[in-house]
Amino acid sequence: MKFTHVLTQALGLLSLGGAVEGFSRSRNDACGPLKPYRSLPTSKSRDKTCHVRSHGNGTDDSSYILSALNQCNHGGKVVFDADKEYIIGTALNLTFLQNIDLEILGKILFTNDTDYWQANAFKQGFQNATTFFQLGGEDVNMYGGGTLDGNGQVWYDLYAEDDLILRPVLIGVIGLKGGTIGPLKLRYSPQYYHFVANSSDVLFDGIDISGYSKSDNEAKNTDGWDTYRSTNIVIQNSVINNGDDCVSFKPNSTEILVQNLHCNGSHGISVGSLGQYEGEVDIVENVYVYNISMFNASDMARIKVWPGGPSALEPDLQGGGGSGSVKNVTYDTAFIDNVEWAIEITQCYGQDNITLCNENPSNLTISDIYIKNFRGTTSTTEDPFVGTIVCSSPDTCSNINVSNINVTSPIGTNEFVCDNVDETLLKVNCTATSQ
């Protein structure tokens, strides 16, 4: 299968998606080359248009936005005009939307009032995630190629002073049934760029993500997408420049297709982390990741599971002891350059002491994993190794298959760290075990 550089594909489709008026055609036609696990619903026709007013002087435009959304809900299109900047300084609950398009041609800027947003952003009940707004309902499309700007710099600096603050996610897709997001430009999110929770049948297509810190304080936890308790989601044809997971499948993500992404500076395409909360059951099942370009990253394919005992990764990120499973996950076709690990599978996430991890093996099982058709070069960080596949117990991992991995380190080696896993299914050079 010929590998096509995804950056060209993604940039080409950024302009294509915006021309699709109202997304009245089937969303399935826009998915490619692979199709979603289940058919995506077709949008109903739109028969009215509302233009959003703007104060134009830096004043909160939230009331104008709500007015237009209410006026054109149930069969209309709301236009954010190209020559305007819209200010949002109020947390907006948009889960009432039905059969509506949001065409964003201009720029939407969220205020930098950190005190307000910490008190009023929507708490999502997972890893301290909050969102500026909640986009939900049924048959909602948001596109147009315009910009959403999270004004993240003030948050990056504040987080460096206090890592327990609540930083909003730029786009919260919460309880959406049927929708298309993109093309859009997303800039300077305080935390994740997307949090997709309790949603189904949603297509993300043509998303351009970028936003680094302009100070010495890093823009941390800026995942491109985190999916959570969601099913039949497609993420494709996008360019992601960030500092954390390009895409992360959080607990109870099922039937997820990710294809044609260009990721730079990230932590890879990740399953997890899972098993963080004792007493909860986390499931990730039926995930297909296809045709990814990964540059300057910590990982390409990554499965990260907490051990069975308590662990602390960071002051605001600790846990362990949860149960569940990772099953039927495929990574197919990837090009990597300057990536620490081409493949990383760990059941000791958050626990650096391997002995302690093995004494408290993970309560989650990992099975039916297929990783194939990788090529490229790692960074020097883990020389001579290019991958690590380590389970906390041989009883917790089964049927992990790795093949056609044409990846070398800068010094020309292609060695793997392998432990507590069936090495006969790994068509790689397992030359070391975890210590």
Active-site annotation, residues:
267
Please state, in angstroms and rounded to a whole number, the distance separating the CA atoms of residues 274 and 252: 9
Please state, in angstroms and rounded to a whole number, the distance separating the CA atoms of residues 268 and 263: 8
Please state, in angstroms and rounded to a whole number, the distance separating the CA atoms of residues 265 and 245: 9
* Structural tokens at position 432: 């070391």
Q: What is the DSSP letter of 53?
A: P
* Structural tokens at position 106: 């201009």
Judge contact between 271 and 303, C-beta under 8 A: yes
The edge-to-edge listing of strands for the beta sheet with 122-123 is 122-123, 130-131, 168-169
- How many residues appear in the chain? 435
Please state, in angstroms and rounded to a whole number, the distance separating the CA atoms of residues 253 and 326: 10
Spatial neighbors of 93 by CB under 8 A, at least 6 apart, are 122, 133, 134
Residue 129: CA count within 13 A, CB half-sphere? 28
Phi, psi of 66 (to 5 degrees): -60, -40
Question: What's the Cα-to-Cα distance from 172 to each of 141, 208, 210, rounded to whole Å?
Answer: 14, 16, 17
Judge contact between 376 and 339, C-beta under 8 A: yes
Give the amino acid at 352. D
